[in-house]
């Protein structure tokens, strides 16, 4: 079978080739898996691990953009966040942004030289 016949999904006689169609469908599924499904599952696993590793005193940012510190980690998938001295919010663990929290906890680098 010639290369251009595979890309056109046509057999050498010019008829529809079910083998070529199956090969193309398999390639499309593989591309979706490796470029969309797998990275999303990996990121979800990292988010779950991040949330489970939160401890008292960690600086966090919620998905709504509220900054604070973890004051207490509860067993019911919630935590108590101190937003200002003496002011506490009870939030769901799933409401914490992993990316924004990583940004505020990243070491500050000097860009001026």
Q: What is the DSSP string of 79-102?
A: EEEEEETTEEEEEEGGGB-HHHHH
Q: Comparing 11 with 18, which gets the higher pLDDT?
A: 18
Write the pLDDT tens digit of every residue in 99-111: 888 888 777 676 6
User: How large a percentage of the chain has pLDDT more than 90?
Assistant: 52
pLDDT value at 26 more than 70: yes
Domain boundaries, the chain: 3-48, 54-105
CA 60 to chain centre: 17
Beta-bridged to residue 89, according to DSSP, are: 81
State what percent of residues in the chain have pLDDT above 70: 81
- pTM flag (> 0.75): no
Q: For domain 54-105, which CATH number applies: 1.10.1040.10, 2.30.30.140, 1.10.3720.10, 1.10.287.130?
A: 2.30.30.140
pLDDT band at 95 (very low <50, low <70, confident <90, very high): very high
| pLDDT, tens only, 29-79 | 999 888 999 999 999 999 999 998 989 999 999 999 999 999 999 989 899
Q: Please give the full DSSP string across 34-61, using - where no structure is assigned.
A: IIIIHHHHHHHHHHHHHHHT--TT-EEE
Pairing mode, strands 87-92 and 78-84: antiparallel
């Amino acid at each position: 079978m010639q290369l251009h016949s595979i890309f056109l999904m046509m057999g050498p006689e010019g008829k529809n080739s079910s083998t070529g169609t199956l090969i193309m469908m398999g390639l499309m599924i593989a591309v979706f898996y490796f470029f969309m499904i797998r990275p999303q599952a990996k990121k979800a696993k990292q988010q779950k691990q991040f949330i489970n590793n939160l401890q008292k005193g960690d600086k966090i940012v919620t998905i709504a953009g509220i900054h604070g510190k973890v004051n207490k980690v509860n067993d019911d998938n919630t935590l108590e966040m101190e937003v200002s001295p003496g002011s506490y919010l009870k939030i769901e663990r799933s409401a914490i942004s992993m990316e924004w929290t990583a940004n505020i906890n990243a070491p500050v680098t000097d860009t001026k030289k």
